Chain A
Amino acid sequence: MPARQTPFELYAIDSLLSEEEREIRGTVARFVSDRIRPQIADWFESGELPARELARELGSLGVLGMHLEGYGCAGTSATAYGLACLELEAGDSGIRSLVSVQGSLAMFAMHRFGSEEHKQQWLPRMAKGEAVGCFGLTEPDFGSNPAGMRTTARRDGADWVLDGTKMWITNGSIADVAVVWARTGEDAKSIKGFVVPTDSPGFTARDVKKKLSLRASVTSELVLEGVRLPNSAVLPEVSGLRGPLSCLNEARFGIVFGALGAARDSLQTAIDYAVSREQFDRPIAGFQLTQRKLAEMAVALGNGTLLALHLGRMKDAGTLRPEQVSIGKFNNVTGALEITRTARSILGGNGITLEYPVIRHMNNLESVFTYEGTHEIHTLALGQALTGVPAYR
């Protein structure tokens, strides 16, 4: 073994991966170091992302909808998808978010619940990154409680007419197509999904400005004012909240791995920094307080990775349950956030600048902590799994 091991070498993580998984991971890692790392700090600072250009590049790699079968998708294992998310998020959570929303929310919704026409029309172009999708569930006043959504779809002759507002929509203003969830009646069972071309009259998207997190990511508000759609726009295979929630479950599986990427990049930065940074005439890596921080971070990262791979294997076997994905998000995002904060402390003053990736990852993870099911809701999902008693219904 070399004098210095990476945290993943310490855990022999590679021994748990197939050759194909290592190659896919390596390809994404190389893309990130060639294409993302040199520019990400500038994109983050300016709050501007060349998202459509990146979508095409990610599409040519095969990242978009990579774990879906057919329609131009690569059809990899779920574990390989997770590893790709990990490497993308080692670049930036915003890049991984772009991929999650495209593949696991917009494409997955059509792949699982859409008509053959939806699939033919959209999936091949979305897999290539020529078309970008977004996913509208959350509203300004309904986040953790989507059952209360106010967006409505009412019949008008053979058509549907949608009215409402969706909030915190990644890729919203750059999307060609939005999967929008709306109630067609009084109760949550009446919720249906609609495939909405974003050039439909009455559809507008405005970007959310003044963010201090996920700045290298497009976040929008969608406004639907009398958007008229044919009946063929309805996702035929699902009604009720099961539709959007199963999509979110896909996306948060990617987050279970992705958050580890942000953590690994922060930890590796802290290790490299500690080895070269001298105080009191010696590298700070030699101080016991620093070593304790590094050891605790490496163990949290390694354990989180073992958990993610366990969940990935279960997903590939078709046995993964939603509350098990909640364990992953609960543990790995919290752990990653803690790692980025501790890594920042090792970098001292340098840790607060965009010269190093750490505070960028740290701020990004504040969003990741909250989106795709807040940490609090995942906590309650675990509480319910253990007790049989739901705390929020």
Chain B
Amino acid sequence: MKIVVLVKFVPDATAARAFGADHTTDRVGVDGLLSELDEYAVEQALQVIEAAGEGEITYVTMGPENAGAALRKALSMGGDQAVHVLDDALHGTDALGTSLVLAKVLEKLEYDLVVAGMASTDGGMSVVPVMLAERLGLPAATFASTLSVADGKATIRRDGDLASETVEVTLPALVSVTDQTGEARYPSFKGIMAAKKKPVTTYTLADLGVAPDQVGLGGAATEVVEVTARPPRQAGVKVNDEGDGGVKLAEFLASQKFI
């Protein structure tokens, strides 16, 4: 069983975040980490390998130099090796371009299963996994809240508002998993120390045969036109209870469409 897990290095949501002059997220000057939603993908991949009793995991990321930290975090949880696509021309790449680059990486790797998180915690678009599956011609089972692999098939449960679906895909396939799949493990100290010795291969766009104008801000099909910081929170509405507090509260909730 060979699994590729897609991981992303994202700005730490608890620290100060910033946008560059070109409206892209500042990924270089801020503290970052492995996207928390990708930790669930790592965990699920590790569990599939543990259940199978054999196999290997390769992590793939695309991002600036410090994105290597996301790979090392994943490698400290488990797994075998990683691929880092590092190229200045990638700056500003949109989801379409990201899926192109990842597809080129996957063409170089052997895999039975590709696992991704349900979304990144920064962009939050959830489209890269399906775009990638489309490019590779893989069946995709997305937003899994459970995942199991047996007999050449991956089976997931997708919980919707009205129903839960069980979806089966034949390997090789792509699966994206939600935060309902179960807590991600802590990296053990042995894992942290072993991670330093696990191989990380770096590819440039040239290595992958991707032209610079297919990616980056120039190659992007979408454009962020404007970025405006959310205005600071306004003070709330104070309701003085003069015997009619309940009514006023209900009116307020109704006006906000809560009830």
Q: In chain A between 60 and 101, which residues have their CB closer than 8 angstroms to a CB of chain B?
A: 60-63, 66, 74-76, 80
Residue of A nearest to B76 (CB): A23
Interface readout for B191-204 with A: 1 if CB under 8 Å, 0 if not?
11100100000000
Q: Give the CA-CA distance A66 to B190 in the complex, in Å.
A: 9
Q: Which of A24-32, A37-45, A321-329, A337-345 contacts B (4 or more CB under 8 A)?
A: A24-32
* A20: Cβ under 8 A from any B Cβ: yes
- Set B16, B188, B193, B196: member contacting A60, Cβ < 8 A: B188
Interface of A is mostly: helix
We find that the number of chain B residues with CB closer than 8 angstroms to chain A is 13
- Set B16, B187, B190: member contacting A23, Cβ < 8 A: B187
Asked if A76 and B186 make an inter-chain contact with CB atoms under 8 angstroms apart, the answer reads no
Residue of B nearest to A31 (CB): B186
Interface readout for A47-70 with B: 1 if CB under 8 Å, 0 if not?
000000000000011110010000
**A62/B16 contact (C-beta < 8 A), A20-B196, A23-B76 known:** no
Asked if A61 and B193 make an inter-chain contact with CB atoms under 8 angstroms apart, the answer reads no
Residue of A nearest to B189 (CB): A62
Asked if A27 and B192 make an inter-chain contact with CB atoms under 8 angstroms apart, the answer reads yes
* A2: Cβ under 8 A from any B Cβ: yes
- Set B72, B186, B190, B196: member contacting A74, Cβ < 8 A: B190
Asked if B192 and A2 make an inter-chain contact with CB atoms under 8 angstroms apart, the answer reads no
- Set B16, B73, B189, B196: member contacting A61, Cβ < 8 A: B189
**A61/B188 contact (C-beta < 8 A), A20-B193, A74-B193, A76-B193 known:** yes
Residues of B within 8 A of A19 (CB): 72
- The residue in B72, B187, B196 that gathers the most chain A C-beta atoms within 10 A of its C-beta is B187
The smallest C-beta distance from A129 to any residue of chain B, in angstroms, reads 12
Asked if A75 and B188 make an inter-chain contact with CB atoms under 8 angstroms apart, the answer reads no
The smallest C-beta distance from A84 to any residue of chain B, in angstroms, reads 8
- Set B76, B189, B191: member contacting A66, Cβ < 8 A: B189
Asked if B186 and A24 make an inter-chain contact with CB atoms under 8 angstroms apart, the answer reads no
Residues of B within 8 A of A75 (CB): 190, 193
Asked if A27 and B193 make an inter-chain contact with CB atoms under 8 angstroms apart, the answer reads no
Residues of A within 8 A of B191 (CB): 62
Residue of B nearest to A59 (CB): B188
Q: Give the CA-CA distance A66 to B72 in the complex, in Å.
A: 20
Residues of A within 8 A of B73 (CB): 23
Asked if B192 and A24 make an inter-chain contact with CB atoms under 8 angstroms apart, the answer reads yes
Q: Give the CA-CA distance A60 to B191 in the complex, in Å.
A: 11
The smallest C-beta distance from B218 to any residue of chain A, in angstroms, reads 34
Residue of B nearest to A77 (CB): B193
Interface readout for A328-372 with B: 1 if CB under 8 Å, 0 if not?
000000000000000000000000000000000000000000000
Residues of B within 8 A of A62 (CB): 188-191
Asked if A27 and B189 make an inter-chain contact with CB atoms under 8 angstroms apart, the answer reads yes
Residues of B within 8 A of A61 (CB): 186, 188-189
Residues of A within 8 A of B72 (CB): 19, 23
Q: Give the CA-CA distance A83 to B92 in the complex, in Å.
A: 38
Residue of B nearest to A75 (CB): B193
Asked if A30 and B192 make an inter-chain contact with CB atoms under 8 angstroms apart, the answer reads no
The smallest C-beta distance from B184 to any residue of chain A, in angstroms, reads 11
Residues of A within 8 A of B196 (CB): 20
Q: In chain B between 191 and 229, which residues have their CB closer than 8 angstroms to a CB of chain A?
A: 191-193, 196
The smallest C-beta distance from A66 to any residue of chain B, in angstroms, reads 5
Residues of B within 8 A of A74 (CB): 188-190, 193
Q: Give the CA-CA distance A75 to B187 in the complex, in Å.
A: 15
Residues of A within 8 A of B188 (CB): 60-62, 74
Residue of A nearest to B188 (CB): A62
Asked if B192 and A23 make an inter-chain contact with CB atoms under 8 angstroms apart, the answer reads yes
Q: Give the CA-CA distance A19 to B73 in the complex, in Å.
A: 11
Residues of A within 8 A of B192 (CB): 20, 23-24, 27
**A76/B16 contact (C-beta < 8 A), A20-B196, A23-B76 known:** no
The smallest C-beta distance from B121 to any residue of chain A, in angstroms, reads 16
Residues of B within 8 A of A30 (CB): 186
Asked if B16 and A24 make an inter-chain contact with CB atoms under 8 angstroms apart, the answer reads no
Residues of A within 8 A of B16 (CB): 2
Q: Give the CA-CA distance A14 to B109 in the complex, in Å.
A: 37
- The residue in A27, A31, A66 that gathers the most chain B C-beta atoms within 10 A of its C-beta is A27
Asked if B186 and A27 make an inter-chain contact with CB atoms under 8 angstroms apart, the answer reads yes
Q: Give the CA-CA distance A61 to B188 in the complex, in Å.
A: 4
Residues of A within 8 A of B189 (CB): 24, 27, 61-63, 66, 74, 76, 80
Q: In chain B between 241 and 259, which residues have their CB closer than 8 angstroms to a CB of chain A?
A: none
The smallest C-beta distance from A176 to any residue of chain B, in angstroms, reads 22
Q: Give the CA-CA distance A86 to B223 in the complex, in Å.
A: 47
Residue of A nearest to B69 (CB): A19
Interface readout for B169-195 with A: 1 if CB under 8 Å, 0 if not?
000000000000000001111111100
Interface readout for B48-81 with A: 1 if CB under 8 Å, 0 if not?
0000000000000000000000001100100000
Q: Give the CA-CA distance A31 to B185 in the complex, in Å.
A: 10
Residues of B within 8 A of A20 (CB): 192-193, 196
The smallest C-beta distance from B221 to any residue of chain A, in angstroms, reads 36
Starting from the known contacts A23-B72, A62-B190, 18 additional A-B residue pairs (CB-CB under 8 Å) come to: A19-B72, A23-B73, A23-B187, A23-B192, A27-B186, A27-B187, A27-B189, A31-B186, A60-B188, A61-B186, A61-B188, A61-B189, A62-B189, A74-B189, A74-B193, A75-B190, A75-B193, A80-B189
Which residues from chain A sit less than 8 Å from chain B, CB to CB?
2, 19-20, 23-24, 27, 30-31, 60-63, 66, 74-76, 80
Q: Can you offer 14 A-B residue contacts whose CB atoms are under 8 A?
A: A19-B72, A20-B196, A23-B72, A23-B192, A27-B187, A27-B192, A60-B188, A61-B186, A62-B188, A62-B191, A63-B189, A66-B189, A74-B190, A76-B189
Which residues from chain B sit less than 8 Å from chain A, CB to CB?
16, 72-73, 76, 186-193, 196
